[in-house]
Amino acid sequence: MKNLLLTLLLLLLSFASGEAAPCRPDSLSIKIGQMLMIGFRGLDEHSEPTLEADIRERGIGGVVLFNYDVASASPVRNIESPEQVKRLVSGLQKMSALPLFIAIDQEGGRVSRLKPANGFPSSVSAAHLGTLDNADSTRLAAGKTADLLRQLKINMDLAPDVDLNTNPDNPVIGKLDRSFSKDPAIVARHARIFVDEFHRAGIIAALKHFPGHGSSTKDTHKDFTDVTATWSREELEPYRELIRQGYDDPVMTAHVFHAGLDSLYPATLSKAIVGGILRGDLKFRGVVISDDMQMRAIADRYGLETAIRLAIEAGVDILLFGNNASAYDPNIAEKATRIIRRLVDEKVISPERIDHSYRRIMALKARTLYPPK
């Protein structure tokens, strides 16, 4: 255990400083683990035995919390009360040799995992704030969310949503009031306030869903989603503006398909979209997180190994397995770890590619979870 902790410390310090790390036999396993964010069942850190192994042995980089279990149609998942969530988060962090990303979807309004029914304060939607278009109102709402997450020790909010409300009947964006506006300038302005308030509280933001989900007519949770006829380059503008302003927290990909951008693959699996548009055209240098790899837009069309390989080749750094789709797989982290390791061993994916993601992830952790004194 001491050797593992020493290795982790050396890797963290060397990558944070930009120096080359000494070669360690288990360094690849450490890097692969940090590329995984996993959802789980349970109200405490010992509820799911495989989760303990995922954290202690496989060294996963993060977890994501939910208030509802889709597969069992149960309101019991990870969130019961403020006191319970604080205990859960603390217990999870104590099990991990490196600080975990503890992520949650707390956008406000209907997309809120921390609900009044469980003792949390109410929140307003992005659509409400965009309609008001008042900076003070948005700053107040964002600040309340940021302070709540800080109190709970949740360090990453998978928000704000910067999709444009170009299709108000969109079942997963417009109809859920998740978009600030159809105007990219309004979206960027209010998203910037959320990011600033998150940073004030030490919370990591995550813009989503790249390259834009607002024009879709279907839900990627449930089905293949083709936006070829509805998407416009205007949907890139909030990302372009925020990155121009220096945004370097994560960006989350969408599973939408656009034949004009990539004739073969949806965005999460597309080198042309992630590597070409996000990293190339928009010059984004931060961490890229996939949307849930178990959503049906991906899972129904690609095998697990193929999906993992394509996402990594596309430029995704953190593979999110929310484990909260139509089925629950307590062994998903072990399966993903084994697949990535084999892809590297068989020279399908290079060690350097894994190292690039690891460096970005560790730089984010060093900057946000190990802030300078």
Q: What's residue 369's pLDDT?
A: 76
* Confidence band, pLDDT 50/70/90 cuts, at residue 223: confident
* Confidence band, pLDDT 50/70/90 cuts, at residue 89: very high
Q: Give the HSE-up count for residue 262: Cα atoms under 13 Å, Cβ half-sphere.
A: 21
**220 assigned to some structural domain:** yes
**Looking at this protein, which amino acid is placed at residue 166?**
T
Arithmetic mean of pLDDT, 347-362: 97
**30 assigned to some structural domain:** no
Q: Rounded to two decimals, what is the model's pTM?
A: 0.92
Catalytic residues: 221, 291
**157 assigned to some structural domain:** yes
pLDDT digits (tens, 9 = 90+) for 159-188: 999 999 999 999 999 999 999 999 999 999
Q: Is the pLDDT of residue 22 over 50?
A: no
**264 assigned to some structural domain:** yes
Arithmetic mean of pLDDT, 335-350: 97
Q: Total structural domains in the chain?
A: 1
Q: What's residue 26's pLDDT?
A: 58
Q: What's residue 222's pLDDT?
A: 73
What residues contact 58, with CB distance under 8 A and at least 6 apart?
Answer: 29, 33, 36, 333, 334, 337
Using CA atoms, how far apart are residues 230 and 233, in angstroms rounded to an integer? 10
Looking at 21-25, 72-76, 109-113, which range is the least confident one?
Answer: 21-25
**5 assigned to some structural domain:** no
**91 assigned to some structural domain:** yes
Looking at 9-13, 287-291, 330-334, 347-351, which range is the least confident one?
Answer: 9-13
Q: What's residue 5's pLDDT?
A: 40
Full residue range of the structural domain in which residue 88 is found: 38-368
Cα distances from 284 to residues 237, 250, 303, 338, in angstroms, run 13, 9, 29, 29
**296 assigned to some structural domain:** yes
Q: Which CATH number goes with the domain that contains 140? A: 3.20.20.300
Arithmetic mean of pLDDT, 316-338: 95
**107 assigned to some structural domain:** yes
